[in-house]
Amino acid sequence: MPTRRAAPRATPAAATAAALAAGRRAVAELPGVGPRGADLLARLGLERIGDLWFHLPLRYEDRTAITAIADLVPGERAQVLGRVGAVERGFRFRPLLRVALEDDSGATLVLRFFHFNAAQARGFEPGARVLAYGEPRPGQAGLEMVHPSYRRLAADAEAATDERLRPVYPTTQGLDGRRLAGWVARALVELPGDDVLELLPAALRERHRLPSLAAALRYVHAPPPDADLADLAAGRHPCQRRLIVEELLAHHLSLRRRRQAQRALAAPALRGGGELAGRLRAALPFELTAAQERVVAEVGADLAQSAPMLRLVQGDVGSGKTVVAALAAAQAIEAGHQVAVMAPTELLAEQHRRSFAGWFGPLGIEPVWLAGKVKGRPRASALAALAAGAPLAVGTHALMQEAVAFARLGLAIVDEQHRFGVHQRLALRDKGASGAGVPHQLVMTATPIPRTLAMAAYADLDVSVIDALPPGRTPVQTVVLPETRRDELVARIRAACADGRQAYWVCTLIEESEQLQARAAEKAHAELAVALPGLRTALVHGRMKAAEKEAAMAAFKAGAIDLLVATTVIEVGVDVANASLMVIENAERLGLAQLHQLRGRVGRGSARSSCVLMYGTPLSLLARQRLEVLRGSNDGFEIAQKDLELRGPGELLGTRQTGVAAFRIADLGRDAGLLPVVAELADALLDGHPEVVDALSSRWIGQAERYAGA
């Protein structure tokens, strides 16, 4: 009988290659996934088995134990086992199902459902055993859980608990969380050993006490039962720290590479004698502050270089960023190049058009106006003027449309840049791409960004800060009042307007819908017109025609309107010095950054100004904290730091901003303390290990890296 020859032992290199190949296999090859599951995973950007290794949990649920109902703590998620004592179905504004759950502790917990079907309701007959998990919170009759996850148990069935903390993953419509967790667990079976996936050199890991990547992934996907949930929620565990550092590092390196790529391009050196800027300065009715002069010098020095400027100018509301941009435009125009000024909304773009026309018109330069609603002959005339070399254009994203061609675009100025996506900024930059290179870019924001956030989100930009307000500005007094005192506010508006002042009434809605906002504003306008019959009122909202909005704003600015009822479209760019009172309805629904922007519409003159934050009750703890921050400070940078702590970076950077990537595990507010470590690691990799930079970016950023030139 012939002896069987032993299979040759795999070499370490072969084993590594095989392990990596496993990560590159399609997710459809995992047991239980198949073509339908692969389509669902593709919606999450998960196409390879290795993608599932880096699809990290949002949070964890502790279902390893059962808590007595009497021991529940409001706000702390827990699992309970009880019997149904009573069931109540009703309809108060919407369908309602309430289930009273009792256990041996003698306490009762109410399970409340607003979305349910008849079969679900029938499953809660009295006496049925139910295992439920959720967040208990005070209700009308004790603690309740709203829409908990639950399952019915047979009368004699054992209430099996989990052996480990249960990870909760980002998912998509049609994909159950438990199903996704099962697929991730199967993918982790193929996760290779400690050194196979490593991109960080051992010396760097040891210096910063970072565990191996494989160990970190295994831990965060399946923490042991004794893991500290508070530590995990705070991102403090060393395994989380390893992944956070690597993700921040990948993004930081991507931005650094983006900056290098920008610097490698050519741009026109915009030099001149300064005559045009000097004439503009001489016509200004005010002196520039020292902070404005410093930023003007920084921008001017950049424009004179043959490498493209990419500079962010940030400053508090009313700090005078627009005039800095105008002086930069004057330098570019005098050097024989065109300037494009772009704003995210027609209202803000119209404000810029008026400002630039007022400054440049007397100098013989009329801005070309281009917005989405400019049609027909005016649009054709604008396009022809830009193609022929008209020196100054002001508009919205319409400036980036395919039909728009500039003769010699030398400077692109983008206001409130965080509201534009990467594609849009690329499109405007490409309008000026020519044999002379790309245009300089000056981006502005009135949303002060804390230094730590700017380090992470804008590592590819030079940052200038206008950190002083023009003299004569009076700090705005901020008052917080409940909606039950609405009549007092109406009387306050009547008194302010009787003194010759003007006022805003701002309407907000929790839904992101211009249509609903418009409806709310229209209702408020009608009610206030009845309550204040002697006042001239007007209405502005996002669904009005541009001409109507502009007419209402012009009348308000001219003093022909006493009270302007508006939605948040007036958040930026509206400058009416005589307006001294603002009321913001449902202020608790807005973030600090947006409230501070709105408040900046008053206090723009020398008169004492007030902003009233009117809130609906009951007020949550977080909402109360935010309103108190705004009441206690007029410093935009202090407010931005608090906003970062309370709500995270999305509020500051703009939730629709596609240029600032979403993080899988890192949190720019929570993890700001790690940025010095990240910067040190980035320096070490760029100097000594440049070969790993692309792999890191690919691992954590993937397809977003293709927009690194934005």
Each residue's pLDDT tens digit, 175-213: 988 899 999 999 999 998 777 889 999 999 999 999 999
Give pLDDT, residue 282. 94
Asked if 544 and 629 sit in the same domain, the reply is yes
Q: Is 281 within a domain?
A: yes
Give pLDDT, residue 211. 94
Asked if 53 and 69 sit in the same domain, the reply is no
- Domain with residue 86: its CATH number is 2.40.50.140
Q: Which CA distances in Å does 316 have to 446, 506, 639?
A: 5, 21, 10
In this prediction, residues 145-165 reach a mean pLDDT of 89
In this prediction, residues 364-383 reach a mean pLDDT of 92
- Under a CB-based contact definition with an 8 Å cutoff, are residues 159 and 81 in contact? yes
Each residue's pLDDT tens digit, 95-123: 888 999 999 998 999 999 988 888 888 88
Q: Is 77 within a domain?
A: yes
Pairing of strands 95-102, 108-113: antiparallel
Asked if 187 and 100 sit in the same domain, the reply is no
Number of domains present in the structure of the chain: 4
Asked if 84 and 39 sit in the same domain, the reply is no
Q: Is 260 within a domain?
A: no
Helices (H), 458-615: 486-498, 514-531, 546-557, 592-599
Give pLDDT, residue 453. 66
Is it the case that residue 663 has pLDDT exceeding 70?
A: yes
Residue after which a domain boundary falls, among 153, 186, 216: 153
Asked if 531 and 618 sit in the same domain, the reply is yes
CA distance 708 to 255: 7
Q: What is the mean pLDDT of the chain?
A: 84
Asked if 440 and 520 sit in the same domain, the reply is no
Q: Is 411 within a domain?
A: yes
In this prediction, residues 676-703 reach a mean pLDDT of 87
- Under a CB-based contact definition with an 8 Å cutoff, are residues 314 and 383 in contact? no
Q: Is 561 within a domain?
A: yes
- Under a CB-based contact definition with an 8 Å cutoff, are residues 213 and 690 in contact? no
pLDDT band per the 50, 70, 90 thresholds, residue 73: very high
Percent share of the chain, pLDDT over 90: 45
- Under a CB-based contact definition with an 8 Å cutoff, are residues 169 and 41 in contact? no
Each residue's pLDDT tens digit, 26-43: 999 999 999 999 999 999
As to burial, measured by CB atoms within 10 angstroms (0-12 exposed, 13-18 middle, 19+ buried), residue 40 is: buried
Each residue's pLDDT tens digit, 512-544: 444 555 567 888 899 999 999 989 999 988 778
User: Within 10 Å of residue 417's Cβ, how many Cβ atoms?
Assistant: 26
Q: Which CA distances in Å does 250 have to 214, 322, 518, 553, 569?
A: 17, 34, 42, 46, 36
Q: Is 687 within a domain?
A: no
Give pLDDT, residue 12. 46
Partners of 521 in the beta sheet?
none
Q: Which one, of 55, 62, 69, lies nearest residue 27 by Cα?
A: 55
Each residue's pLDDT tens digit, 593-629: 788 888 888 887 778 899 999 998 777 777 888 899 8
Asked if 136 and 172 sit in the same domain, the reply is no
Residue after which a domain boundary falls, among 181, 213, 234: 234
Q: Which one, of 297, 597, 588, 291, lies nearest residue 468 by Cα?
A: 291
Asked if 325 and 445 sit in the same domain, the reply is yes
pLDDT band per the 50, 70, 90 thresholds, residue 703: very low
> For residue 220, what are the domain limits?
12-60+166-234
Is it the case that residue 15 has pLDDT exceeding 70?
A: no
Give pLDDT, residue 532. 94
Percent share of the chain, pLDDT over 70: 86
Give pLDDT, residue 432. 65
Is it the case that residue 641 has pLDDT exceeding 80?
A: no
- Under a CB-based contact definition with an 8 Å cutoff, are residues 50 and 695 in contact? no
- Domain with residue 622: its CATH number is 3.40.50.300
And the tokens for 614?
A: 């009117």
- State which of 159-168, 335-344, 436-445 shows the largest mean pLDDT: 335-344
By three-state DSSP, how is residue 176 classified? coil
Partners of 112 in the beta sheet?
98, 146
Is it the case that residue 510 has pLDDT exceeding 50?
A: no
CA distance 416 to 347: 13
Asked if 461 and 528 sit in the same domain, the reply is no
Asked if 400 and 284 sit in the same domain, the reply is yes
Q: Is 55 within a domain?
A: yes
Q: Which one, of 387, 388, 332, 389, lies nearest residue 356 by Cα?
A: 332
Give pLDDT, residue 456. 64
Residue after which a domain boundary falls, among 153, 188, 219: 153
Write out the H or E segment, with its range, that includes residue 3: none
Each residue's pLDDT tens digit, 325-364: 999 999 999 999 999 999 887 878 888 998 999 999 999 9
CA distance 646 to 1: 76
As to burial, measured by CB atoms within 10 angstroms (0-12 exposed, 13-18 middle, 19+ buried), residue 512 is: exposed
Asked if 34 and 112 sit in the same domain, the reply is no
- Rounded to 10°, the helix 275-283/321-334 angle is 150
Asked if 502 and 597 sit in the same domain, the reply is yes
Is it the case that residue 631 has pLDDT exceeding 60?
A: yes
Looking at residue 42, its amino acid is A
Give pLDDT, residue 504. 95
Preceding peptide of 470 cis, ω within 30°: no
- Under a CB-based contact definition with an 8 Å cutoff, are residues 596 and 639 in contact? yes
CA distance 678 to 686: 12
SS3 per-residue string spanning 83-120: EEEEEEEEECCCEEEEEEEECCCCCEEEEEECCCCHHH
Q: Is 646 within a domain?
A: no
